[in-house]
Amino acid sequence: MNYTFEQKVKVVNGAGSIKSAGDILEEAGYKKAFIVTTAGIVKRGSVKKLQDSLAEKEIESVIFDKAIPDPPVEIVSEGAAQCKQQQCDCVVAIGGGSSIDAAKGINVLRFNDGSILDYTEKEMRQCPGLIVIPTTSGTGSELSNGAIITDTENDMKMPIPCANCMAEYAILDPELTVSMPSGITRETGLDAFSHAAEAYTSVLSNAMTDIVCESVMETIVKYLPAAYNNGNDMEAREKMQTASAVGGWMLYNACAHAGHSFAHVTGAKLHLVHGNACAYGLPVVLKIIGDAVPQKVKRIGEILGASYDGSEDAGQISEKAAAAYRNFASELELPKVPKLVLTDAEIDQLAESIVSEAFAGLCPVKVTKDIACQMVMEALDIKNQE
């Protein structure tokens, strides 16, 4: 059966919980870990903490530190080849969403032939042996059932359905997020908010996911400003890490929709930072879906601080919610949309890509080319270009 509420990942959380990595792998019976990360995470010393914990249990490890933002198919292929060559029996991701998504792809290719892009539609075999340790609070990839891999040949971000390659274990250690710069704190936090807002309003939402999504949004509105303004605020860091992970869980149960279609397309084609692209797109999405789910849009507005007196129609509800979100993002110093000069043909191409993107079909309104054009024009402020 396709259950409406499920969570498969075993989670360990709390300050210093990275020290439990060795115990987890020992209990699971793994002997040699393939660590997927970035050079920056290695420099911070986080990988050494992981390796020390593994070494205490006599578990070997190999470091693959070539993960980069928007992980390309080539990195996944290279990592998978090295993982097989080293005869590792598990994959451990430590880093942000890019490291985790790269690790998911690498783990898929431990058990399945071909390119990772084959599995955008092709069913994959079960892929056990993935342990994830996030160092950012936004993507939620540690509990989600998807990975985003970049098709560099076609300049596209490709969602890989990963119900069969989810993490077995996730270690949520807020101490690992303290070193996040404020800009990354903001970008990843706004991404997490979009996960909850879109899952809350998707066609797959249900009574159980609604309650969780509301809580995630409330937590982010309360604690993201604190984490952004003071990276050493451990309470805020822990709350944001939890909200991010649970937001990823909601992606598994209810999915994102048009806002992430917009972010994936513009991220790949225009090289916008993912969290920023989500933030540019969400206010427009709230207005587009207002007639379909006015009470949910109103609730999002209320969570963001909007006031309603009950006299508002659907359009006014949406406008207030969109304004409240823009104000929230502005207080976090969200960068202005980069000045872009796009031809009509380029706008049409972006719109067509949004319509055909995997998540668009889960929007509570049908995403037509006209609606997608509206998203591009308004979210990217094209109408004001000279």
Provide the mean pLDDT of the chain.
95
Chain segment 307-340, per-residue pLDDT in tens: 999 999 999 999 999 999 999 999 999 999 998 8
Quote the CA–CA distance of 326 and 287 in Å, as a whole number: 13
Q: Where are the domains of the chain?
A: 10-177, 182-384
CA distances from 311 to 8, 170, 294, 304, 316 (A): 43, 46, 13, 19, 9
Distance CA 73, CA 70 (A): 10
- pTM for the whole structure: 0.94
Query: Above 60 in pLDDT, residue 384?
Result: no
pLDDT above 50 for 188:
yes
- Per-residue pLDDT at 179 exceeds 90: no
Q: What is the pLDDT of residue 5?
A: 84
Domain 182-384 -> CATH class: mainly alpha
Torsions phi, psi of 240, nearest 5?
-70, -40
385 pLDDT above the threshold of 70 = no
Average the pLDDT over 157-175 and give the result.
94
The predicted-structure confidence for 229-266, as pLDDT tens digits, reads as follows 999 999 999 999 999 999 999 999 999 999 999 999 99
Domain 10-177 -> CATH class: alpha beta
DSSP 94-149: EESHHHHHHHHHHHHHHHS-S-GGGGGTS-------EEEEESSSS--TTT-SEEEE
Question: Residue 7: what pLDDT?
Answer: 87
pLDDT tens digits, 112-135:
999 999 999 899 999 999 999 999
Q: Are 186 and 275 in contact (CB under 8 A)?
A: yes
pLDDT at 3 over 80: no
- Residue 182 to residues 44, 120, 368: CA-CA distances in angstroms? 16, 34, 36
